[in-house]
Each structure stands twice: as structure tokens, then as C-alpha cells.
Structure 1
Amino acid sequence: MTRRLGHWLRYLTSGLAIVADALVALMMLHIAFEVMMRYVFGISVPGTLTLVSKYYLPAVVFLPLAMAERRGNHISVEVLTQVMPRRVQKALEVFAWILATAVFATLAYQTLLDALKKTRIGAFELDFGYQFMTWPSYYVLPVGFAAIALVLLYKIAITLFRKPDHLGMETDDGPAEPAVSKRI
């Protein structure tokens, strides 16, 4: 069970990160095209500001959150905990994961409600007289928050139940071998 879930979460986080990477490239091309059109031909491309602020940037920021958690790339401060026994460190880490899961699950739920509301009203923005639908962009946040909450739940479960890690945690030296979680 943990093997399939770990592999599934690995593919999910990698897929979301690939989408974010592709959107960075697309945003770069879009902005370069806008700059060229404006300074060479004196024409602004309608929708550039809306697409960048409502589609590209939220996706680039929120979709890779789960990948960063999977890799252990989020900032952590260990000034006090580094002198504590390993067992206490692990217990505090699990406690932090539980709190973070609660926060991200709450954010996923609330942003999903906001996205559903924007869908119902058909949210859009006007740019140079053109109407751009923005309601689809609101679904990026709940997807990103739900993905990181799932990764955190997985980490909690494999630690508490002492199961092998099949998430494919990566290190600076490349992918780590699946290992059994250490006992709390």
C-alpha cells in the first residue's frame, strides 16, 4: 500500500513541477513577445498582465510546493532541536508535519471554495477591452495545497507506522534508496 501511494505521490509531485517548469518557459516567451511588440511595433499584447498575474505566477509558485516538501527543500531552523536526542527530534518533526498538514488542508479547502465561487460567477478581467476568463486560475491553489498536504500525510504515516519510504526522496547526490523510517 505505501509503495503504490509513494509512487503515485512521486508522479503527482513530479507532474506538477513539470507543469510549473513549462509555464515558466511559456511566461518568459510571452513576456519577451510583449516587450518586442511594444518596443518594436508600438503595440501592446492584450491580456499579458492578466495571464501573467492570474495564470502563470500562481501556478509557478503553488504547483511545485509538494515537490519541495518531497525533497525536503523547505526552510527549517534547527538551532534548538539539533542538541536534543534523535527520538525527540523525530517527534517534533512529526508534530510539525501534523500542524503543516492541518494548515495546508485548510488552505486547500478554503481556496477550493473560493474557486467554486469564482466559477459560479464566471470571474473575468477586462484588458484592452477584451474579456479574459480568470476563474480557471483559481483552481491552481487548491491543487497545490492538497498535493503538499498529501505528501505530508504520507511522511507522517510512514514514520508513525515504521514503513519503507517509497516517495523517492531525493538528495544532492541523486535519488535516495527507499529506507525504513526510524523509530520515534
Structure 2
Amino acid sequence: MSILLGIGITATITVLYLGKKGWQMLHKVVGITPGVLTYQDPNAPLLLSDMTWQQLTLNVQHLSGLSDSQLRQLQRIDAKVATYYNYQQVRQAQNITPAVNEAQFVLHKLLYARLPEMLASHYHLLNIIDNPKVNTANKTQCIEAGQLLQDALDSIERRVDTELMQIETQHLQDLRVMKRYVDSHKN
């Protein structure tokens, strides 16, 4: 009887131990840490203090007048630019010096010179419009400034997308060429 009781207790402990380890492994596979629950609402407004930049160097003060959608667009642009420059760094690490074409030069100038200038101009214009002592500015200028900035952001994002698409297309073309080469040398 004591042998059966010992086997039962051992079996129960083994099942509980394996169950716990299995439960932890399941969480690890899907990327969840047990006991830690943080939900971030994707539609919640972005806070400037929580924003981090991978590639772009922007004055946080100049971002204060932007809408939530413009902040999200800037974050998307930053992530795409980080992907693009990571690719460029990998190429340089492989001792492949990429030739810079006009579109890449213009994109670099837009990202690191013109974008900060546009954000600064937009910020200063909004400060003048919001100042009650200055009567020269009106709401139509504020709307126009927002639209001009949005058009510029859209243009920059399209340019970054175009550069990334060209990289994808080039690599796909390289793979096709290699496949044709391999296929042509079959025995």
C-alpha cells in the first residue's frame, strides 16, 4: 500500500512539474513573460517623452505642435530609414561600396537637413499664431502650414519606400540571375 501511495505522490509531483514547465515553455514560444502584463493601446496618443528615434535627429520641442498621425508617420519614416541605413552598413561591412545616385543624395538631404528645418518652421509659425499679442496670423495659415508639412512628410515617406523597393527589386533580380546560372549548368 505504501508503495502505491509513493508512486501516486511521485506521479502527481511529476505531472505538476512537467505541466508547469510545459506552461512556461508555451509562454516562451509565443513571447509572453508569465506574470508580466503590459497592454499598450495602439490607438493611444503618442507622448513626446516616450518617443525614441533610431536614425533621425529631431528637436523634440519642434514636434510639440504635430498631430498624432504626423508623429506616427515620423516614427514610420524613422523605422524605414533605420532599415535602409542598416542595409547600407551591412554592404559596407562586406566591402561593397554602394554608388550614391541622385535620389539617394536628395533623400539624405531631405531627412537630415530639410525635415528638421521644416519642423522648426512649422513650430515657430504655430507659436506666432498662438500668441494673442500678434494679430497678423490667422487660422488659414495654420491649416496651410499643417498641410504643407503633411505633404512634405508624405513625399519623404514615398521616397524612402521607393529606395527600399529598389533594394528588394535588386536582390530579387540577383536571385533570379543566380537561379538561371545554376539551371544552365545542370548536368
Pair in the same fold by TM > 0.5: no
Instruction: With the length of structure 1 as denominator, give the TM-score of the two structures.
Output: 0.31
The structure carrying a bigger strand percent of its residues is 1
Which of structures 1 and 2 has the bigger CA Rg?
2
Instruction: With the length of structure 2 as denominator, give the TM-score of the two structures.
Output: 0.31
The structure carrying a bigger helix percent of its residues is 2
Greater relative CO, 1 or 2 (CA 8 Å, sep 6+): 1
